[in-house]
Structure 1
Amino acid sequence: MEEELIDSSRLSLSRKSQLPGTGFFYPDSLDEERAEERVKEAVEDAEAVVIADTDADGLGCVALIREMYDATLDVAAFEDDVARRVERWEADGPIDNEDEDEDEDEDEELPRSTVALVGAGPYSLDDALERVAEYAPEDIDAYVCDLCPDQYEWVEDELAALLDRADSVSWYDHHQWDDETMAAVRDAGVELVVGESDEECSTDVTLRSLDYDFDDRWTELAAVTRDHDLWLKEDERSDDLADYAYWVSPEEYVAVVGAYGVDLPEIVEQFIELRRVEKQQLIDAALDRAEIKQVGPWTVGVTYGRCSQNEVAEGLRERGADAAVVVKPAGSASIRGSDGFERAHEVAGQVNGGGHPKAAGCKPDIYDDMLDYAHHWTTNGAAAKRVILAAFERVAEQVAEESEDEQVAEESEDEQAAEESEDEQAAETADADDEAAETES
């Protein structure tokens, strides 16, 4: 296959919105080999390792831990890279994310922190744990941040191997854990701290859990990260952090916020503004193809495209949607809720996923071969949309049944209370009759 066919930087905006990025078309085996080699290189001489989600929240945790270990990288080399990218964007226009990553690999080797960063997601957490357990030095300090296993069994063996290897394992998160999984992780020997998912982000949890006196800029970083991660939208700087983390390598983000906190340098702000032009165009494209559906008591906005799901969800909420579904070209989907819909994680749980009440993700198990993906791209995710809307319907049915049960229970309680009241009145009447009879006698 000619590389030009999968180089999304050459695509028109419309086609770029409908197709996945270049990396999607590389076999998983190549990605796995590359990931394993990267983990080995990162952890082999480290004193600590952090397995984290690579969004702004997970990477904020990494920045905190590196600060505690005095292992923050010199930011100068990363700033030079940003300046080169800005120059290329201004001269040649948009560059695909994967192309930028490959260019960074070809550059001279950047310094390596003694606190290694291993990026992972909910579906690759077991692999990350296994690789760190295999390649990390004995008695390393290990941390897991901003990640939650849907079931303990998915990570049981890999976590046990890491516990055997490490001196300590600490886990900081804010997702919704079930009691059984939490208990199992703690019983295995992990220091697990889980914050309230609608009050704290994982950076908050890490900040309050680490035994270190952080200065005020780190408290500010946690607050601004929380603003975006919980979709509070009260601090415009939170969008800068979220976008920057999404668009650059994890090491760059951690180095820059480690050096500057939320007050990003001018060259980084310039880079973000350049990227936002295309970002907004992709958001608009997804909103243009959106549909509004009524499922049970909820209005659901459904769309498809490579885009920023949070901004698209906000646009759908402005159109009256209680919930938003953004199906991605790679096959996954984001589900976003609102004050009127706090069951996103329940819907995702029906379709091979999970998350928060107002923010969740999933990937329907409907792709058996490339023809299924071809159908997915040419129909704007029609099959995935049907499967996810069916999950909404099942959750709506459950809610209706729960409401019915509650109503029956309330009616039963009312009847019982009425009967008790009648019994009490009868007893009072009987007592009054007895008193009257005694008085007459």
Structure 2
Amino acid sequence: MFGTSGIRGTVGEDVTAALALSLGRAVASDGYDRVVVGRDARESGPILVDAVTAGLRECGADVLEAGVAPTPTIARAVSRTDANAGVVVTASHNPAPDNGIKLWSSSGKAFGPEQRDGIAARVERDEYDLQPWDGGGSLEPVGDAIDRHATELVEAVSVADPPSVAVDVGNGTGGITARVLSELGCDVVTLNGQRDGRFPGRPNEPTRETLGELSSFVEATDARLGIAHDGDADRMLAIDETGSFVPKDALLALFAREAATDGDIVAAPVGTSIAVDDALAAVGATVSRTRVGDTFVADCTTWPDVVFGGEPSGMWIWPDEMPCPDGPLAACKLVELVADRGPLSSLVEGVKTYPIRRASVTVKEKTAVMNQVHECVCERYDDVDTLDGVYVDVDDGWILLRASGTEPVVRLTAEARDEFRAEQLEADAIGLLETAIATVSGIQP
């Protein structure tokens, strides 16, 4: 039921009001009796919020309505209001026809595997503590969630020389970023700032390919950087002052190096570039690799000496602030860095990067194929890690083959310190996957 980042799928097929009702019932029945509920700007959001709220109240939980707000705003409101859970109706960076539900713990961290499994088990068994006519939960608004988040963001950074910034909200809920940067003294221009759950301005996921308008605008103006969010503003990616997209691994390296000092640890998923390891080695810090998914990175940020966690997808966590990815906070941190250290393009140039290859292959029998990949890899290589997929570390690079948690594909990544070796490792990874697919196909009836 739950993927690496909650429940997501097509509305009316995978995600329905009936599912939302069941989840609300399950959360309340599992002992969460004070729950913050909010949503992103999608057209299907009100129906799903009504359903999940009904399920929560039907089983005795009091609901605090946060309304339409960024996911990190809602996550922060959970701990601030003494709630013991949060429900966000969002499909994050997915397209408009999708929606989903993500659950948050009292600390503001996403539900972990055990918590999710408990909720899923109740839904599967249809096991709820439905209350009598006079036992339903209450409903009250949380009217200051965005204001409180904005105040916390202003207090989290210090911007002595505020730069001009372009903020592409992507028609989502991330307008708080433009508001806070203006309060910090920045000259801010907003693109796609009107909330619209159809995401007419650009595709919802911010990538090099979808941020052409922002890139062109920054290049043509005196903006010193561009900021982009997805629909629920848990992600943040950037454009430098020349209009160039900032590579995701380079952005991770910049944030990590700024947060860490000698002996500190940064959490990042398998498949993270060795550029991050090298950047941290320069300040005496190291990387601890996790499974893919912000929940796993967030879990790692609770360990001793872990000062930052990040995913190259655009999810950034500063555990001293909150254990959730916070796109507006990341935007403020990046503006602070540029104001203090100079042009973003120069900062990016200071991060040594290496050739990296990524590809996705459609695979019907993902589990069987990955089992075969593991067997083939163990026969060929000595240093094999199965934390998440199959990761092979060689002296001058690495390869990763990993089944997608949401699609019928296996993703492969290869990186090395020179172009020729990267091509060799990519060819090795493709060969391993093709052999595994052929072997599995041969044994199928």
* TM-score, with structure 2 as normaliser: 0.30
Larger proportion of strand: 2
* TM-score, with structure 1 as normaliser: 0.30
Larger proportion of helix: 1
